[in-house]
Chains A and B, each alone.
Chain A
Amino acid sequence: MSVPASLAANPRLDRWVGFETPGRVRVAIGKVEYGQGALTGLAQIAAEELDVGMHQVDLVNPETDMSPDEGLTVGSMSTESSGASIRFACAEARALFAAAAALRLGCDAGALDIVDGVFLLGGEPSGLDYWSLASEVDLVVAPTGEAAPKSPERHKIVGKNHPRLDLPAKVFGAGYLHDLAPAGMLHARVLRQPGFKARLASLDEAAIRHAAGGPIEILREKQFVAVLGENEAAVVAAINAAEQTAKWDGARDLSPALSETASLKELPCESFPSPVPPAEPSNRRRHTAGYSRPYIAHGSMGPSCGLAIFDGDELTVWTHAQGVYPMRALLARVCGLAPAKIKVVHAQGAGTYGHNGSDDAAIDAAVIAVRKPGKPIRVLWRREDEFGHEPLGTAMHIELTAELDAGGRIADYGTEIWSGSHTGGRGRCLAETALELPPAPPMIQLTLPGGVRFSGGILNAIPSYDIATRRVTEHVVQAPLRTSSLRGLGGPVNTYANECFVDELAELAGQDPVAFRLAHVTDPRARLVIERTAQMCGWADRGEAGTGRGLGFAYCRYRDRGAYVAAAVALCVDTDVKLERMWCVTDCGQVINPDACKNQLEGGMIMAASWALKEQVRLVGTGIASTTWDDYPILRFDEVPPVDVELIMAQDQRSAGTGEVSLGPALAAIGNAVAHALGARLRDLPYTRERIARTLLAG
């Protein structure tokens, strides 16, 4: 059996698991928790393979040199990739210990059972356990790939609900990086450049000190300006004054029109045309439509925070970024230190949903700390920093063309996408531009097995059906502002466009939308989630279009290889869209923690609803104009509908993540429900009152 990738990259069992403390199991994982429940699920996998109780597992807080290097915690991949590795590592460790116990007891290893880490022979305690054998079993060994993990029908912990390990602290008011306050700590805030080319012409330090009203220090180097001091309120007053009085040359000047997706086709781009030759002229029925989503914000509840201390030789940084090793690489470059001199410790922050300000806040703190040795430096972004300077989720414009054959089946499907980069902001930060460091090394072009180019913009570019001819052209646009990863990258947006367009095609074919989908899919797992969702939402009783009440449906297999997800949405529309209920059925293969999966799927549906109805970043002048929650509204408690989620427990199938998978189907089901309610279709997100009115007037 081949060793999973993360384990192969960290090929020593002791990096993953250990029995140093009697009665306790050390489990180290390279993925980080940000409320998605990843670590609880991974602990369940470890406990299952080792036959120890969940109460015996001590998860190592992710930290460089203490945790295996598993890169970034992204892409709904933790359970699949890290889970496979921890399962193998623990199965190997268990086999080594079982062999040692069998040798001592003079029995066959297969005759032994383990309960709570104690070896049983014939159902009776043998006097041996992991801890009594620890001195004679060497885990400083590479995995052999020979130990077989348990078969799913023997699972007792995997596949069962387990309360999230991180939640109690949060309910009692603790648990975040933001709460750390080492003795002697200085608060700091950073003045941001209004654009990468902006140069600081003047800074009125007297006015800044006057506004602070107490002792502060101003640190200025090239275009990097920070204010620091013991009193947080003074530091905040100072940075607000700095922002108001700083004069910049070469500041950005953005037209508000750049906020709109129509601008994407006018921007410089790099094009990747479809390798499939253009369609021959045919007399098949052809349909085209364009869909879009604007730039959106991650909108973390807690602005980003970083804490750093430099002792003159070694730098220690606490961060809520998505991976400690990628953060160390970035710190090494920006701070000019050897990686061996940098320790990065993960501490939880607010949900990031991708690449928000987390990396930048940690770098800000480190940049200041190396210039102020001996002092712990805490940088907390202001709300307007988070909205105004985090990398955005890129806008996308998608043009779809399909041909139906005489039988009303999709014969040819083409997708042309204009999108900013979904991953280009990774490994870069604001401070390096301000400090005028040499250009960052070029981003590595990611390739998938088979040499296929990876791009976040083309995920789920073709809907998940049996379609003979598929064409995907992508134009990677130079966005006017920094863009980077946001929950699902282009996948949810493409699924939104495709699954709304599939409803348009069903109408053209004169077929029911669910029946049309089922006619295009043979995979029984896909059919099951579609049929079950239709049943749950009462699809058979769906009324006429154009009554003001709508029921919409959508389906997708995430990234064509992950979870099967169907969603339905009931709503009504008058001047605004009012959501009434949402449903989702998901087959994500083997489920580790059903309730944690449902929590992710529910949350994804609600975030998608917020994108669909409310969210758009506004650009104007020097940058982002929507820098408060008033300017960037999200869905509220009194607007959230009940959500019913059902999981198909396919325990004999490979696990697939759930963190990103429900957004696309939820977006499209809302789009289709609104079209059903109005008898007219909106295609550009968000569905604002103005757009609804315009669509009705046009109809």
Chain B
Amino acid sequence: MVRDIELTINGQARSLRIDDAAILLDALRNDLDLKAARFGCGAGQCGTCAVIVDGEERPACQLEVGNLEGKQVTTLEGIGTAERPHPLQTAFIELQAGQCGYCLAGIIVGAKALLDRNPSPSRAEIAQALAWHLCRCGAHNRILAAVALAAERMREGVPA
């Protein structure tokens, strides 16, 4: 059913007149001009569209906007920007953690959700948290190292 829906995305109220069964990923990319969450599979199997909803990492391709009113949605754009990078983004660039990069937006979102609940994860814990995210280029080791580096810096007080 098409109706007015009020979403909270990256801390901002965003109003949409949209079918309440519309998929969040489509709304982000096509209606809200937030392109960081990417279409990868449409089935919640690859992680390229990951967002954070009330602290939980979720695939945006599996969420209907009608169920998100009153919830806090965070996309990569809300985590950091080129002008104000999050320590995760700084670490990913510093360690050149990525190749084609298509998986990175979702992975950085997943890493943010992990560090919010566990500020000093082990390599195994990072790998476990990111296990549902696929990376085809084989940048896994650099990504694991970048998440660990960001965690270390944040523990030392680098602002997120």
Contacts and interface: CB of A to CB of B under 8 A. Distances in A.
**Is A bound to B?**
yes
Given A172-B89, A303-B39, A596-B96, A602 B134 contact: no
A638 interface: yes
Nearest to A162: B96
Interface string A375-391: 00000101100000000
Q: How large is the interface on A (under 10, 10 to 19, 20 to 34, 35 or more residues)?
A: 35 or more
B101 A637 contact: no
Contact of A35 (B26, B46, B101, B142): B101
A349 B42 CA distance: 17
B135 A301 contact: yes
Interface in B101-119: 101-105, 108
A637 B82 CA distance: 27
A173 B77 contact: yes
A171 B98 contact: yes
Nearest to A173: B36
A235 to B, nearest CB: 11
Contact of B102 (A37, A232, A350, A634): A350
B62 to A, nearest CB: 13
A35 B36 contact: no
A629 B103 CA distance: 14
A253 B99 CA distance: 38
Contacts of A382: 42
Contacts of B100: 34-35, 170, 300-301, 348-351
A175 B82 CA distance: 13
Interface residues of B, number: 56
A174 interface: yes
B26 A301 contact: no
B17 interface: no
A301 B23 CA distance: 20
A127 interface: no
A604 B138 contact: yes
Contacts of A600: 99
A302 interface: yes
A100 B108 CA distance: 51
A168 B82 contact: yes
B30 A173 contact: no
B40 A638 contact: no
A383 B104 contact: no
Contact of B36 (A34, A174, A630): A174
A599 B99 contact: yes
A232 B126 CA distance: 35
A353 B100 CA distance: 10
Interface string B70-104: 00000111001110010001001100101111111
B136 A634 contact: yes
Contact of B93 (A34, A163, A604): A163
B158 interface: no
Interface in A140-175: 163-164, 166-168, 170-175
A267 interface: no
A120 to B, nearest CB: 33
Given A36-B99, A173-B77, A640-B141, A301 B134 contact: yes
Contacts of B85: 171-172
Nearest to A382: B42
A233 B22 contact: yes
Nearest to A593: B96
A643 interface: yes
Interface string B36-52: 11111111011010000
Given A233-B22, A380-B39, A302 B48 contact: yes
Contact of B136 (A164, A176, A299, A383): A299
Interface string A270-313: 00000000000000000000000000000111110000000000
Contact of B40 (A179, A349, A383): A383
B153 interface: no
A610 B138 CA distance: 9
A54 B37 CA distance: 31
Nearest to A641: B141
A171 B136 contact: no
B134 A634 contact: yes
B68 interface: no
B82 to A, nearest CB: 5
Contacts of B81: 172
Interface in B9-54: 19, 22-23, 26, 30, 35-43, 45-46, 48
A301 B98 contact: no
A599 B141 CA distance: 10
B151 interface: no
B130 interface: yes
A164 B96 contact: yes
B11 to A, nearest CB: 16
B42 A35 contact: no
A45 B131 CA distance: 38
A662 to B, nearest CB: 10
A629 B42 CA distance: 11
Contacts of B35: 173-174, 178-179
Contacts of A628: 41, 43, 45
Interface string A165-201: 0111011111110110100000000000000000000
B154 interface: no
Interface string A575-615: 00000000000000000000110011011111100100000
Interface of A: 34-37, 163-164, 166-168, 170-176, 178-179, 181, 232-233, 299-303, 348-351, 353, 380, 382-383, 595-596, 599-600, 602-607, 610, 628-630, 634-638, 640, 642-643
Interface of B: 19, 22-23, 26, 30, 35-43, 45-46, 48, 75-77, 80-82, 85, 89, 92-93, 96, 98-105, 108, 124, 126-128, 130-144
Q: 3 closest A-B pairs (Cβ-Cβ)?
A: A173-B36, A606-B138, A170-B101
21 contacts: A35-B99, A167-B98, A170-B98, A171-B89, A171-B98, A172-B77, A172-B80, A172-B82, A173-B35, A173-B77, A173-B105, A174-B36, A301-B48, A351-B136, A380-B39, A599-B139, A603-B138, A606-B140, A628-B41, A628-B45, A638-B127
Given A35-B99, A170-B100, 16 more contacts: A163-B96, A171-B85, A171-B101, A176-B102, A179-B35, A233-B26, A301-B102, A350-B100, A383-B40, A595-B96, A600-B99, A602-B141, A604-B138, A628-B41, A629-B45, A630-B43
